[in-house]
Structure 1
Amino acid sequence: MPNSQIFSMKFSDIYRLYIQKSERKNRKKEEVDQIICWLTGYDWIELHQQINQGCNLETFFTQAPSIHPNASLIKGKVCGVRVEDIEDPLMQKIRYLDKLIDELAQGKTMEKILRK
């Protein structure tokens, strides 16, 4: 799928998929919210405003208050591609979030997921 198609996807649709994935693995919606807020700098209210407004992924990440400084510590593969090797900054942020949700679904502790 070309980047432009991914960037134009509604964040609310992706968010719903993150929740479904985590709940299938007995994790909580609140943990997904915590991960998203940690990565993007949104607080809970701002996060849910973005979801309710129906913004796309590009807008969601462009308007993010601040990407966490430890985001660069996120390593590994998503869809067969190493997140640390992705050159497009927006795509890298999207894949960082995908990787964090994968780690949640794999049963990692929040402390490890949030790179503490």
Structure 2
Amino acid sequence: MVSGLIVCFLGAVLLRRDLRGLFRRWLWRRAVARVVFQPTAIGPSWRFDFALPDGTPASVVTTDMRLVARREGDGPIALLYDPAAPGRVDLPARPGIGLIVGLALAGLGVVQVLR
């Protein structure tokens, strides 16, 4: 029983990013943004320029390289933003091996708990 709960917990840890992304896809809105590199004295930063549905321009500056590394190719990108706080953005990631392994571990954990 305890081993099944531990395996379920490990599966949930691996699924956390994918579940958060799925939750954000349901509740957050999509926008097409332009990414601009801005070197600063502190280090590199990037600015995401996009428009809200009412036409108001929005801009978010970030130093998070993980966010920028997920983009593919040059040109405009699709991003998700929080309608309550347009300063919170996320680039939707593709499901990876963590999703497959997390689902497998969660399934094995459930089987162990039910035995």
TM-score (norm 2): 0.24
Q: Is the strand fraction higher in 1 or 2?
A: 2
Q: Larger RCO: Structure 1 or Structure 2 (Cα < 8 Å, ≥ 6 residues apart)?
A: 2
Which structure has the greater CA radius of gyration? 2
TM-score (norm 1): 0.24
Q: Is the helix fraction higher in 1 or 2?
A: 1
